[in-house]
Amino acid sequence: MKNQNDDFQLTPDQKTRLLDLGLGQEQTEVPKDSEEEKSDLLYEILKCPLPLDGSVFVTLPLILHDQVAKLNSISGKALWDLLFDSETDLTVLNKIKDYAKREGAKAKSEEESDVFLVIYYASIACALLYHQEKITQHTDENLDYFYSFYINKSWIPPDIVNLFIMAKEKTKTC
């Protein structure tokens, strides 16, 4: 059985904050830095399922629209699980890419925009690695640049960094 602690690789600070929350201890307000905000937001988004597709939403009876809007998604795997499952269908990876692009375009902060860019490029990397398909019009040189850029960011989980390293190598051989 898989250990649930292996789902996300947390930093020592994040583990301490979780422990403090679990123990009910009050935390002193320490302002978050941009890197920490990005890391937290990325984990928050990746643990959620892909939001309900709008085309599915309109097919539901009107009485359910309010309830479904509150749920954000009827069911499904977390984005993290979809990105790290080699069996994830190419259509789903495209939906993740489109979702990240759409949400990143309407982001309210630079941190939020950066986080959605990481998810966007992660979905492209997964399509390349799992299906040998390029689901973007970006050139290989652009992808190589973005993967190189994100590989060096401390706020990105090691699993995603490894994904970018593998995709970077794959773009060189294609």
Per-domain residue ranges of the chain: 36-173
Measure the CA–CA gap between 49 and 87, rounded to whole angstroms: 16
Q: How far is CA 34 from the centre of its chain?
A: 17
Predicted structure pTM score: 0.72
Examine the pLDDT at 159 and tell me if it is beyond 90: yes
DSSP 8-63: S---HHHHHHHHHHHHTPPPP--PPPHHHHHHHHHHHHHTSBPPPPHHHHHHS-HH
3-state secondary structure 68-99: HHHHCCCCCCEHHHHHCCCCCCHHHHHHHHHH
- Per-residue pLDDT tens for 118-139? 999 999 999 999 999 999 999 9
Measure the CA–CA gap between 86 and 83, rounded to whole angstroms: 8
Diameter of the chain measured on Cα atoms: 53
At 22, the pLDDT band (50, 70, 90 cuts) reads: low
Kindly state the tokens that stand for 31. 């302002």
Task: Return the amino acid letter for 34.
Answer: S
- Per-residue pLDDT tens for 43-73? 999 999 988 665 544 555 666 555 554 554 4
Beta bridge partners of 78: 49
Put residue 132 in one of left, alpha, beta given phi > 0 → left and psi -120 to 50 → alpha. Answer: left
